[in-house]
Structure 1
């Protein structure tokens, strides 16, 4: 097995092209790495693959690249921008054409420590930005329950997080398609476009939604939190099955998993799990409910959809927005 850094420039380009093709087929960077090991006998680091996929970088072809490092800016200039002008590492990275990790290394090289998350959120620039965004009022009616709002509510019962200040979604960088669908629904439901950010150190994608009118609207609909969330009453009582379908899709995009012969999710919230089963029943999808007790975790609840007809109904009436998960349904039918 060769290390990626030891192979020729020509082979690096072949590996890069293969990685892009594999990603178009729905493979994430971890699976791509395994395929590359098998096909090329070369071990390519996961961060390298993620840079190719999410930043469009090409070995030896990018001026902004780890293959051709950017020179460090002048110490006084860099520290003035960071310490006095309070620019964030992300802003400095865009200014100098590097990643925020590189900016962090520069700052530490010059003998200064970087701000932690709490300090960064307390800078005047960020406070002003958040305050301005939170106080903006909606220009259109946002109270109506749409399919897109139903999807958002489903996500918040799963991977999403919300408090009185902001809503957040942070997921694996393997699921960019999921993030884009979530932000598409936010835009259609609340008429505001949000961006996502790639966190290199954690290999995740994150977005923050801070306008007060959006946060208040969502919090007024239901209770959220890992152990407290419930299916909102407006979802339970709606006569539009499309709203129910989109809510379930948002939830299963967050929590669902397609196994060899089943579609499952596991949570620590008993009442929430039972609520989901009742929604599935509206589509004549039967699901099993099991309780386990795990050391260091406590009670967990497993909901599974089994059987050809049940899984077909789930695929046709709910499904996933992510190609990666939706394609796994194909494998379920190979043995039937």
Structure 2
């Protein structure tokens, strides 16, 4: 892929939501041509990480882009032109499974020789198992494979602080034919003047706000050229870029510091674990009495719902002359009550 020289950026590394980190080489401006319209996109450059999409929020806003997954197209300038987002395959996919147990160390990438029910096939598209990526917290990129002797090679990335084990015969994804023709985005080879970069634009893309809290962080886009450098055909290489749009949430690195918010109004439960212990069993009649009294206290603003992730230790019972509170676990109820008599 031809591009302008990479410009150093003030942001050297970003932290992912799963406590990993990504080192940034710099920033580069790419020229993306969609039919007769030329557009430009700024992309962060990394060593070996796939990206969810090469088009960030700044590109979407400047070009009035609408990404429609129902029609499978990207629309520019309110429908002035459009192009296919994800190309469709018409052959039934074949499952690729793991041939043996593996353990991936923290912050490591492993290349796996996996089994597939195809003897030999060139230029096949591998689509990863989304459920496996979510449960094992690993990244499995899309790739174009050459199947030889019922085996293909894929990469699995563990970007967490702990080892991850994947058992034998686990479905890693599926293999499909990639010979279907599709109209896709084309990256122009025209060169640009590197002096176009300005300090304000770089500082905007190097925002350090916590996206988990204020949603003000510009979407970070990363190059994946190192992962697809073995693909000689530029059209097939671009197909791999486009298919990553579908799984953008798996590669979201917008939370630079992770989730650092502390739970508000947390209740100290002492030696009683709010998660491990079940509530004390009561009869149906007593439960109705409790629910009625709790609703009265809620209506009188004596207690209020809590946003705490813990289970508040409250229960209501009738006394001789007043309503009191004793220990019982009710989900998300906390507040102040008159003392028991």
TM range (shorter): under 0.3
Task: Choose 1 or 2 for highest CA Rg.
Answer: 2
TM-score under structure 2 normalisation? 0.19
Higher strand share: 2
Higher helix share: 1
